[in-house]
Structure 1
Amino acid sequence: MMKNLRKARLYVLPILFVMGIFSCSKDKGGAGTPDVIKKDGASDTLTTLFRNAYRVYEMQRNTKGIYRDSKLFSGTDYHPSSVANIGIGLISLCVADRMKWITDGSGQAITTLRTLLRHDPGFKLDVNTAGFPRHFVNMETGSQEWGSEYSTVDAAIMVSGALFCKNYFSGNTTIAGLADSLYQSIDWSKAIADPATGKLYLTLDGQGKGIGTTSVYNEYMLLAHLAYKSENGKGGPATNLWTNFYANTANLPKSNYAGNEVLTDYPGSFLSDFIPQFCYYLCKPYSANPAYMGYMKSSMLADKKWWGTISGTAVYEWGLGAGSDPSGYHANRIQDNDGKVVSPHIIGGFIPVEATVKNDLINMYKANKGIYTLPGTAYQILWRYSVKDPAWRANEVQGIDYSTMLFGLASLPEYCGTTFFSTNNDYKFPVYSFVSIK
């Protein structure tokens, strides 16, 4: 994730499965999943796209349990870790464990959490005095990379992944203790800029002083929620901000496109669709609120309506998300997608509000659009492509952005189920007390 998200190993199955001798129906998408997509089987297509979506995170993980920001499709990986993608990687372990793709999910989660909390002597996560980590850190040492900032929302996504693991591996007291420690290692109050206007700090300096602000509504809902819960029900600036804005959708700014009212940060403008999706998958107050869910569906309908104005596109070609772009890295949105880049992961991310969009992914694959092969394998995924410039190809797949493909497919009833996220994102918060790991 770039600032505010809007700027911006291999697991080899036994050869019998690769040859497709065993049907995916034997295991409901688990160990019997075929690896090479059969174009004559819609269920096989989805099952294999789902399985291969997890492989993206397997290939981004190192032995310390740290996840790389992006995976190159060819060449030597050079991207550092994104702390937000570490949170996504933790959730991917829960998905893989539920699907029986791995047998050591809890152990892998413990490795990641211990590394973040400096139990690995070779890894010292760079955090400021308030506990907020750098956006990008070295895969092996935890030190700052790319001159990155101490990021508030990336910290929130990292910790959300830990709390998700705590819920999913509910009987594991080691994971619970580590997740609680990670949550309490950050002074969330430092992210609050102005409860009266809903402003949160984008970044902090080394001493925890805020730099730059963002206005509601956006993915910083995740940050606002963690800060709100850190006040232990006693009230304070974060509680006031939450009550004034995120607790009631009537208090949030809105825009309208083709008859579809959507939430936004500024009336008349539009947001990239990863925002409602991140809020759905990672924040219980969003996924449990029918009003928020209505706006999520409106975002999907507005997205499809906008794509309907683009000549030469098929009905399955839509999705306004973030990731690799002909211009570099970009978070596309209504009226801001010069490259006419289709985001399959956004289509997948909307499955919880409209399961039939899975057919658009199937039809996209059948039409040979947006297909990429993970390096050194025959494993195929759907990723961003340009309708305007069909010759353009993405160089890499960003883990944070691709997450909604994995999550959306996981939400199908034949896989992890429709309540998988709305159950596990109902975080069990400890009585909060800031304890620095520095």
Structure 2
Amino acid sequence: MASEPIRLRIRQGSQIVTPLRFGRARFGPASADHPDIDDRGFAMNSRPFGWGTTDARGAMVGVTEGLTAQIAVLREDIGEDAKLFVTTQPDNLVELVFPPRGAPLPLGGTPTRVGDPHDVLTVRGIKDQAFRCGKIQVRLGSTTGPVLGEMECHIFAPKEVRCVAWLVTIRGIGPNLRLLPKAVRQPGDDLQIPFNQYVEEINKDFDQINAIFRPAGVIIHYQPERTRRFSIDRKRKAGNQLFKFPGKVNDKGTSTLEFDAVINEKFVDDAINLYFVHRALGFAAATFSPFQRSRSEGFGIVVSDSYKDFEDPAHVLAHEIGHFFLMDHPDEIESGPQQTRDSVRGDMWTLRNVDFSNQFHHRNPPHHRDLGYGNDVNGELLTLKDLRPDSTLGAGSHVGILRRSARRFP
């Protein structure tokens, strides 16, 4: 049956009307082939230096060079009987894999929301070329028909960053990554768990982490063979007695003395250093970035066992790796003479972001609890758009910040 006509009252001459939009082609945890789409409005604004531009108005997507991405086409105001065709350009940057060139886009696939009528297209990133990018368009009736929706496609050459783990015993108690029931945990528990079990538990989070970072072309290469243990006893620094509590990093307020002692005890210079401890006061993890600290001050990521209590532990590590590379909380701004950071925005644009601060939790309406990853589960969006000067949308493109920092590290 034909769709009913849509009646619109045009309020501004520049208003854009489109009967479809783009979204993730999979519901649930982050998946390497199913990137989240930066669909925050139609304004394209400026791009990071070296990126290309097109005349497309709409969403942006990132694709790693040589790999594919599946993208959902959501039919919001157009019937299922309408034949849609996909075109991509230029051919030497982005390739249409599905549907076959010249064939209509078939209805079907895995919905991003239950009940959404949608189609799924697949593209491959051919080449990362400076100052160039691709364009994906969905047209009505044929490959030369009117454009119903379009998006900009940025291709990124893969950049690998090494990562190593340290298992830190503090005064006899080390991490157990929640592998032992709480009731039976005792001092020295870390010595009762086989070393390879630790490594396996950490390693399994990295497939998910790399699915999150794939739209930026960044690969976090955890090297399990370099995992090591070390122990710390009581220390005195700057007149303070450190590590009063076995197994715990107990810094309060603005103090980082105990964190500093951990990250400066052992480290390697050619990788992200992850330090796993049993407990940390008020933190699942805390990051000290090499772009904000000197080597003498120390840098790395301290992770407590409580990160495994999260619905998606890999999200916690990805969030902190984002901070390591200077990705900030997109919902926070600095305010007041003390330059405190306050969360001022908790809408769907910021809630979906992998580095959202988690200071806001939407409980109602129900669809605000589900960002496409599961009920009350954090989103994993890496923003491509630079929507400054809006100060509540982050300090620019997170993909741009991430890639710029990763190229400078180590």
TM range (shorter): under 0.3
Rg larger for? 2
Question: What is the TM-score with the length of structure 1 in the denominator?
Answer: 0.25
**In proportion to residue count, which structure has more strand?**
2
**In proportion to residue count, which structure has more helix?**
1
Question: What is the TM-score with the length of structure 2 in the denominator?
Answer: 0.27
